[in-house]
Structures are given as structure tokens and as C-alpha cells.
Structure 1
Amino acid sequence: MKQVLMVAAENGAFKGAKVGGMADVIRDLPQALLSQDVRVHVAMPSYGFLAAQEHGEKLNAFSLEFAGGQQQVSVYRVNAASKEVGEGRSKVNQTKTYLFDHPLFNDGGQIYSHGDASRPFAADASKFAFFSLCVAKALVLEIIPRPDVLHLHDWHAGTLALLRHYVNEFSSLKSLPCVYSIHNLGIQGLRPLSGDQSSLFHWFSHYGDEIKQQGLSEVIDPTHSQCYNPMRAGIVLSDKVHLVSPSYAKEVLLPSAPEKGSYCGEGLEQDLQLKQQNGQVFGILNGCFYDENQDLAPTPWVEQAEATLLSWQGLGQHQVDHQYVRSVDQIALQRINRLLFSSHHSDSTNQTNRTNSTNDTNDTISTKGTDKRADSRFLLTSVGRLTDQKVLILRQTILSQTTDKTVTVLEAILQCLKRHQPNGLFVMLGSGDVKISQEFQMIASRYANFIFLNGYDEPLANTLYRQGHLFLMPSSFEPCGISQMLAMAQGQPCLVHSVGGLKDTVQHGVTGWHFSGDDLKAQGEQLIMALDTLLDSSQKEGYGSQAWKRVCANAKEQRFDWPKVAEQYCQSLYNQ
């Protein structure tokens, strides 16, 4: 079998080691590649807890120089043959994960550091530069078996491409085919070339002459000439560059225009254009695992949301003392409790009516157990991180169709929902930027049809995917995206910005709907127009109409299977 070593910062196979979509790929892709006679192993930091948590076997320890001092690093191996990787997924067989343990990787169990705004990426850049050096050293020392292909993921592993290409000690790695996957070009990890504790020549002072002799033109940031760019190093110094959707692979060849809401090549478009001209750029959509044995009658989303909020407070079910509840959760919890009271009261009344009715009970009993969306108010949903990538459009201001005043796009959505579905709700689950969460919390305090849940909980996310009527994903750019796939798998159609992986996975008018626009304002206006049309249709025909059900059915039939993705990896990236 062909052996591939993936070098990455995240891995969803392990509790606490997932932040974004890269973790899903590192978790799921090795399993799919086995069917193609490709065996994947993974290298990642231990972050101070993974080796112990996963009962890793200590393989070896070695010393190396970094940032002017000698460092001692331990390597642990986790055999994942018996590890379950998540609900509805099969076991990962034969995958080994090599965990690197050193205090520099430890940040209180966090994958990424919050850092200092005056020195962006400083802590993380040092951490991942050291990690790249550790992997290079472990390969040369054969602590990690030499693979047939070296596969690096995102800026965190870009420095390994530099070491492989520029430093004589690691020249034997140049004969390994090197693939570089870009999951998000918007984050590149820039640091100064020198003059800082977190800078290229401080990290590798002992290799400084060798690196300078090679020239720095391939790794200096195109815009900031005194900065090292690990993302650029990965692109320029690898043999093949992989983007996580076909449309994103085209978009990154164009210059970005943030003032127009266009996020494309982010300054690296010329490097990517050159790679494309040489036939070295490939766009392959990420996959998704499907649970064909899902619960047909899941917990109602309101009950799941209450349980989630209480768990965030460290409280048990029905043990709510509002003075001890996080202020950010107060409004959401109060509204959910009212919905639960209303639901229980309605269920009691309906039960009485059914008991007294002389009609056939088969005609009156609720279909709640068989149709997870029957007899419920219109539910608009959104699940994702609170970053400008995901919600910048929602924060733009436009003219309200209801009040003729300037409002944010998010407020316009809530006004539109109120007009067409007076009892409808917009439920958003997300965490991330504190400023954005505060903005959304303030809006939630003014709009009774908005429930903002500031955090992330996978069971609640899955419930919203299953029970929502329309999923909103307005990303300004989206390399691939997984939330829209998960919503569609549950028969929930999506309204998405027509970019990147969203455009590749959602077919307009067939499995969901698109909106677009030439700038941020136009994108916000087009989103509202699209939503207005959809809600107007749902109001007139009902979201139980045949037309709406057909789109739901089409969405549910879509399959973005990892095994098919694995075939493309082998053909395009691994020459299998």
C-alpha cells in the first residue's frame, strides 16, 4: 500500500483536537483512502494532553536546536484501529497518529493561542514552526517511517516545505513528493523575518546562512517585504497544491477586493497562477459521512437547546436559577423556556381534543414521530463560527423594507421572517469573535424571533440540521464548507452565497438557493430579496407544498461521499 504522512494542526478523531473543517478531513479521509490501497498516518502536536488522553505509546525522544536553545521532544504513537470517530461513522483502521510533546505546544489544552493583537500569530507561528522542525527531524531520524508522499495542511505545516527545500540536514526529504492542501487562504500566519522572538531567523538561527543562500524570494510575503509567509512557502515549495473545492481553486487565482466583498487570492494569486499554469493546482471537494440509520424521532430542538444551555452553565435539567446563568444566555434560555411551556400546554390541549374527538384517531394524531418537521413553526437555522468570513454580510447595513430605516442585514432577515411567518424563528448556533457575539446578543434582545446560542454543541447542531426548514450560510468566501452538506443530508435545503464550495454543493432551485452581489451591500440586499421570495412562497403555498418538499427531497438525496473523494485524491494528488 502507498504510505502517506499527513502533517496537520487538527484532528477530529480526538476529543479536543477539532476547531474547523480541517479536523474533519484529517479524521475522515484516512478511512476512505484505505479502499484505494493508500494508508495514511498523521503527525500533529500533542498540545499537552492528547498523548495522555489517547494512551499514546512513547516511541522515542530526541533533542534539536530551536530559537537559540536545545529542546527535548518526545514522540508518541496512537494506533487508531479501535477508535470510533463519531456518530454514524465506521472505525478508522490501521491509521497511526504521531504526537509530538513539548511545553511549547501546551496552551491550557487549546489548539490555538489567543495571542496579542500587537503581535498577531506570534505564539502560534512559533509553535507550528517548531512543530514543522520536529516532524522533519523525526523523519530524518526514521522515528516516523518514511512515507511515499508527504501531505502538508494549511499554514501550520508550511514551514516544513521550507525546511525540506532549503536546509541540507533535511535534503533527503526533497525526493518525497509533497502535496500542500489549503483549507483557508485567508489565514497565512505572517511573522517578521527577524527582530522578534517569533521570527524566521530567530527560530532557525543555526540554519540562517543556509536559508539566506537559497534566497528568500519564495517565502517573503508579497505585500510585507520584511515578513515570512508560511502559507506562501507551502504553495511555492510543494509539488502540488490542493484546494478543497473546484470553485475555490478558481477563485484563488484572482486578486481579492475586500471593499467589494471579494476574498480570493489574498495576495498569493500570482504564485497560484504560476502553479496552475504548470498543472500543479487541483480543486477537490471535501466529503461527508452519512448516517443512514439516524433517529427518525429525535429530541425536539427546543428541548435539546435547553439541555445545551444548562450544560454550558453546569446546571442539570430544570435547575435554572437565572442569577447564575451567563448573561449571554439569559435571553435565549427565557425564550426557550416559554416555547417549552407553550409546547407542553399545546400538547396537553391536543391530547384532550383527541380523546374527545369522534374522528378516526389516525387522522388526528400528530405526525411528530415520523415527520421531524411536521406541525412546527417555520424554523430558519444557522450553525457556524462567528468570524467575518462567515457572517460579515449579516453585519452590513441596508435599508429596511419594513421601517425605511438603516438596519443590519441580520435585522432585515428577522423583519422579513416576521412579515411572512409571524410565528417563525431564526435560531443561530455559533461561537468565535467576542465583538460579533455581543452585536448578535444585542440584536437578540430587540427581536423576539431571534434565538442566539453563543457556543457550539454537536448534538444541538445535529438537531437543528434535522429539524430546520431552511439553513442559512452567507459566508463571504467558503473554501468548502461542511454545514451545508450536513443540513442537506437531513433534508433541509440551504440558502447560500454563491461562492466556493457552497456553489459546488448547492444547486440553485434544485437542492437549495443561491444569492450573490457585486459588493457587500449588494450581497446583503440580494440575500434579503432571495429570502423574501422564499418566505413569500412558503406563506402562500406552505413549506409542506409539493414544490418545497421536492427541493427538500433533492437536498436529502445529495451525496458527497468520502470514497469518491478518495479516488480523486489518488488520481490527482498521489498518482495512485
Structure 2
Amino acid sequence: MNVTTRVLFAASEVYPLIKTGGLGDVGYSLPHALQRAGADVRLVLPAYRTVLTQVDSINILGWLDVRGAKRTHSVRILEVRHADFAFPIWLADCQVLFDRPGNPYVQADGHDWADNAERFSVFARVVTELARDVLGINWQADVVHANDWQTGLVPALLGEFPHPPKRIFTIHNMAYGGHFSLADFNRLALPRQWWTPEGVEFYGGFSMLKAGIVYADEVTTVSPTYAREICTEEFGYGMQGVLQISRHKLHGILNGIDEKVWDPATDVHLLAHYSANRRQPGKALNKQALLSRFGMESDEIAMQVPLLGMVGRLVEQKGLDLVLAALPYLLSHTDVRMVFVGSGDSKYEAKLRDFAVKYPTRIGVFIGYDESLAHLLEAGADIFLMPSHFEPCGLNQMYSLRYGTPPVVYRTGGLADTVIDASREHLAQGIANGFVFDEFNFEALIAAIERAIACYAQPRVWQALQRTGMNHSFGWEHSAQSYLALYRATSNK
């Protein structure tokens, strides 16, 4: 790619400024990998309140009058700098839409913000104008890379202009479709020609995710297996037909991880550092710290007992039903200890709290998001639980592999693409790095955990698993090159 190729990367969340899930991590890591590979990157996201408190060197690029829901917003465009970013960040500053506390998508009670259709259609219009250099700042995008439903209207809006930039749309999770009503569509004054079954219309309403799929030049998703899965009824969320029609432009490119942020040899969140070639005493010291953090015994005897860890959203997708069904058996038939970090569905939070109260010496639970604790869990646990029902890519299994914490996963999506089961054959070949089960039920999960416990009791086998996982590179370099090739190959439509 020519060094002057200009990529406008549009996302609704970016770590460390604001993050609710894996999109935030990708929004940080992929643009940096693209920049290192020679692209000229600008990152654009809404000016949420929490973002504005973290940036400096604020420069006003100008104002855009942008159509909203039966009203026009004057959106201030800010160029800001942040110590963690190697390129300028552009913020769409519209206080009435984005200057509010908390989560970017939902209120404190867990319900969506009522004006999400307007918020993210305005954001999409802003991205479209910036891509075309309407402000005259002498930076016009060659490629616009939009991500998930919050930016799904961007490829469609760009298509309304002659000679648009190349339009890439990445699906991070089909479960979130950005579904809104015909009334919203009309209030937003979106182009009438979009309202067809071949356009954005979806069962009487419209979907911003579908808009991205239909109108982008190329569509990517975050693992090769997930790219195949979403074309099926089970994983397509009603859009499998659209995706099957779009197969000629659908690509599965595995996400990477930031190997500087997630490196047990340098991780600022860890009590002790370690590497693939020298795991001890560092890993053991982190296990002690994790056990102590949850008020559990951390003496020599306790250190010999396998510690299982799980971190992430506490929702059905992540296999919480299986985990909760398996807990009574694990508590009565094994001596494992378990720690859980995350938040999500209130019923899962309550059930995990109940287990922690009833078994305080065996189960630790932290409800909420704590970046430092998430890093400590990846390092301090012996076995990582990630039995997701579906997982577009997944990052935590890659973090756990890098930290010498073999994962237990269901064979789906990116988990199937990154975790190689510790079968006798794979162990003999030296490629095994975790434990995979093929039937989505708690009996299969228990069997996989018992296999992991059995391997843990065999130091040579366990150490080989750890080394294999830790020595594999999950950095962004290869995936970034795949994206750059796609940028080059895409032809305008």
C-alpha cells in the first residue's frame, strides 16, 4: 500500500478512551497496526463525556450542520491527541446526543438510549462528511473502514455521492443488529430508495447492520469460522440470506491482540512478570495475588489446587448457563477453585454472588469491569473458562494463551480458529494449546474441564501446553496485511 493511502477508521468505542467489549480493543489495535504498515490513519468516534475528559491538545476543525430526527444539529469536529495514540483522533461533538454519563449504548437500567437511532445516524453522517473533506482540511479518505451497526449507515451514505472512497464494513457481532422502526427511518429523512428488502428494510423496520452489509464494497468479520457460521440460520440472526448473497464480498480475517499491552513479561497490572521460557516464580506469585484478592487461602497446599478463571460479559452468549449448571458438580467432585470477573445479565450476576456467599473458600466473584483485575486473572488462573455458545472472534482466549493459562472453549467462531485441543494426537504433534468440546451442554463442558484437570496433574504435559500457547504470536501484523490487501483490491461500486 502506498504510504499516502488515507484510512478513516470509524468506531463507536476505542480502548482506552471508552470500551464495552472487544470492539474497543480492535478499535485501538487495528488502526495502529495499519499505521505501522504505512497507512495514514484518522480515527473518528463520538465525543462522549468520558472521552472528552481524557484527551488533550484539542483543536477545533470546524462545524457541520447535520440532519437528525426532524431537526438539525450543529456538530463541532475536534481533532485531539492522546498519549496512547500514534495518530490524530477526530471527535464528533454534539452535546445533546453524546454528552451523557455511562455506557455509550444503554442507560444505567440496561435499556437502550431511546434516541440511539438519531445518535448513530448523526455520527454516520459526520463520518461521511469527514471522509469527503467537507471541512476543507486537505485530508480526504481513500478508504473508510466502518465497524458494527453503529456505523452501518456510513457505506450507504457514501454511496449517495459520486466516486466514493472504498467502503469496508466489519461485523464484530451479528447479535447486535441496530434495529429501528419505520417511524425512525422517516424521522431521520433517510433516502427513500433504501427502503426495500434488498436495502435496509428488515421485517418492517430497518437495520443499520444490514445497511453496512448491503452497501459496503467489502464486508469482513473477525474470524474465518465466524464468516462461515453467519451464513447459516443458527448464527445469521435473520440475515443469513443477505450474507449468502454477499458471500462474494465476505471475508473472515482473524482479530489480533495488542502484544505490548498483553505481555506477561512487561504487563504493568501484574505483581510479577514472567515469560514462555521462565514462567516461574512469576506465574505462581500472580496466582497467590489473585487468590488473596478474593480472600482465599494461598498457602502451599492451596497453590497445588487448579484455579479456574473467567472474565467477560455475564450473558447467555458466553455460556453462563453451562457454567452455572456445572458448578454444583465441580464443587462436589473436584477440589478446584474458581474466580469470575464481569458484569451483564442481572440473573447471572445474582446466581454467581449466591455461589460465592455459599462457598467463599472455593468461589470468588467480582461484578463489574476492572482492567487490572482482568489482567491479573489471565496471569494468575491456571485454566481459563470461555465456553461461549458463539464467539465471532474472542480475545480473552488469546490473552489466556499468551499468559500460559490454557483455555477451555466450545468449538465455535474464533475459538475454533485459535484453540487446538489437547488430544493425544495434537499433544504428540506439539500443537495442542487448550481444551475444546464439541457439544454445547454442561456434561461436555465438565468433561473438558476434567481433561484439563488431569493434564494439570501432569507437569510435563501442562508445561508443554503452556509453552505452545505462549510462543504463538497473536499480534495484528498478519491481519493488518490482510486488511491492507483488501483495501487495495476493493473496487468502487
TM-score > 0.5, shorter chain as reference: yes
Alignment of 1:227 with 2:209, yes or no, is no
Kindly indicate whether the alpha-carbon contact (under 8 Å) linking 2:286 and 2:379 is maintained by their aligned counterparts in 1. no
Following the alignment from structure 2 to structure 1, what is the Cα–Cα distance between the partners of residues 306 and 16?
Answer: 35
Q: What residue identity is the alignment partner of 2:478?
A: K
Aligned to 1:569: 483
Q: What residue identity is the alignment partner of 2:418?
A: T
1:68-79 mapped onto 2 (5 Å cutoff): 68-79=70-81
The one of 317, 321, 340 equivalent to 1:395 is 321
Aligned to 2:427: none
Aligned to 2:169: 180
Shift in alpha-carbon separation, 1:115–1:191, aligned structure 2, 3 A: farther
Aligned to 1:7: 10
Aligned-pair distance for 1:27?
0.7
Aligned to 2:185: 200
Report SS of the residue matched to 2:421: coil
The one of 494, 517, 527 equivalent to 2:407 is 494
Shift in alpha-carbon separation, 1:514–1:143, aligned structure 2, 3 A: farther
Alignment of 1:245 with 2:247, yes or no, is no
Shift in alpha-carbon separation, 1:142–1:549, aligned structure 2, 3 A: same
Shift in alpha-carbon separation, 1:499–1:121, aligned structure 2, 3 A: farther
Report SS of the residue matched to 1:4: strand
Aligned-pair distance for 1:461?
1.3
Kindly indicate whether the alpha-carbon contact (under 8 Å) linking 2:353 and 2:365 is maintained by their aligned counterparts in 1. yes
Aligned-pair distance for 1:414?
4.7
Alignment root-mean-square deviation, CA? 2.5
Kindly indicate whether the alpha-carbon contact (under 8 Å) linking 2:326 and 2:445 is maintained by their aligned counterparts in 1. no
Aligned to 1:131: 123
Following the alignment from structure 1 to structure 2, what is the Cα–Cα distance between the partners of residues 123 and 439?
Answer: 32
**1:286-331 superposed Cα distances (whole Å, 9 cap, x missing partner):** 1112226332337645645766xxxxxxxxxxxxxxxxxxxxxxxx
The one of 439, 449, 454 equivalent to 2:351 is 439
Q: What residue identity is the alignment partner of 2:307?
A: L
Following the alignment from structure 2 to structure 1, what is the Cα–Cα distance between the partners of residues 81 and 100?
Answer: 25
Which runs of 5 or more residues in structure 2 are unaligned? 267-272, 275-281, 423-431
Kindly indicate whether the alpha-carbon contact (under 8 Å) linking 1:252 and 1:265 is maintained by their aligned counterparts in 2. yes
**1:465-517 superposed Cα distances (whole Å, 9 cap, x missing partner):** 11211111011110111111111101111110100000101011100011122
**1:96-147 superposed Cα distances (whole Å, 9 cap, x missing partner):** 2110111211221432222888x85643232111111222234441356211
Alignment of 1:547 with 2:469, yes or no, is no
Kindly indicate whether the alpha-carbon contact (under 8 Å) linking 1:427 and 1:451 is maintained by their aligned counterparts in 2. yes
Report SS of the residue matched to 2:101: coil
1:400-419 mapped onto 2 (5 Å cutoff): 409-416=323-330, 418-419=332-333
Following the alignment from structure 2 to structure 1, what is the Cα–Cα distance between the partners of residues 38 and 489?
Answer: 12
The TM-score with structure 2 as length reference comes to 0.86
Kindly indicate whether the alpha-carbon contact (under 8 Å) linking 1:382 and 1:427 is maintained by their aligned counterparts in 2. yes
Kindly indicate whether the alpha-carbon contact (under 8 Å) linking 2:224 and 2:253 is maintained by their aligned counterparts in 1. yes
1:57-96 mapped onto 2 (5 Å cutoff): 57-80=59-82, 83-84=83-84, 92-93=85-86, 95-96=87-88
Aligned to 1:532: 450
1:154-553 mapped onto 2 (5 Å cutoff): 154-166=148-160, 171-172=161-162, 174-194=163-183, 199-204=184-189, 211-213=191-193, 215-222=195-202, 224=203, 226-256=204-234, 264-276=235-247, 279-290=248-259, 291=263, 293-294=265-266, 295-296=273-274, 297=282, 300-301=286-287, 303=289, 336-337=294-295, 339=296, 342-343=297-298, 375-391=303-319, 394-395=320-321, 409-416=323-330, 418-420=332-334, 422=335, 424-448=336-360, 449-509=362-422, 510-517=432-439, 522-538=440-456, 542-543=457-458, 545-553=459-467
Aligned-pair distance for 1:154?
0.3
Shift in alpha-carbon separation, 1:383–1:274, aligned structure 2, 3 A: same
Q: What residue identity is the alignment partner of 1:8?
A: A
Kindly indicate whether the alpha-carbon contact (under 8 Å) linking 2:226 and 2:413 is maintained by their aligned counterparts in 1. yes
Aligned-pair distance for 1:22?
1.0
Following the alignment from structure 2 to structure 1, what is the Cα–Cα distance between the partners of residues 32 and 52?
Answer: 21
* Larger radius of gyration between Structure 1 and Structure 2: 1
Q: What residue identity is the alignment partner of 2:370?
A: D
- Percent identical pairs in the alignment equals 29
Following the alignment from structure 1 to structure 2, what is the Cα–Cα distance between the partners of residues 249 and 565?
Answer: 15
Alignment of 1:111 with 2:111, yes or no, is no
Which runs of 5 or more residues in structure 1 are unaligned? 85-91, 257-263, 308-335, 351-373, 397-408
Kindly indicate whether the alpha-carbon contact (under 8 Å) linking 1:73 and 1:101 is maintained by their aligned counterparts in 2. yes
The one of 151, 154, 172 equivalent to 2:145 is 151
Report SS of the residue matched to 2:48: coil
Following the alignment from structure 2 to structure 1, what is the Cα–Cα distance between the partners of residues 257 and 222?
Answer: 13
The TM-score with structure 1 as length reference comes to 0.74
**1:156-179 superposed Cα distances (whole Å, 9 cap, x missing partner):** 00122232234xxxx14x521100
Kindly indicate whether the alpha-carbon contact (under 8 Å) linking 1:221 and 1:227 is maintained by their aligned counterparts in 2. yes
Shift in alpha-carbon separation, 1:535–1:303, aligned structure 2, 3 A: closer
Following the alignment from structure 1 to structure 2, what is the Cα–Cα distance between the partners of residues 62 and 468?
Answer: 50
Kindly indicate whether the alpha-carbon contact (under 8 Å) linking 2:49 and 2:98 is maintained by their aligned counterparts in 1. yes
Aligned-pair distance for 1:418?
4.3
Following the alignment from structure 1 to structure 2, what is the Cα–Cα distance between the partners of residues 105 and 287?
Answer: 29
Alignment size in residue pairs: 456
Following the alignment from structure 1 to structure 2, what is the Cα–Cα distance between the partners of residues 428 and 231?
Answer: 32
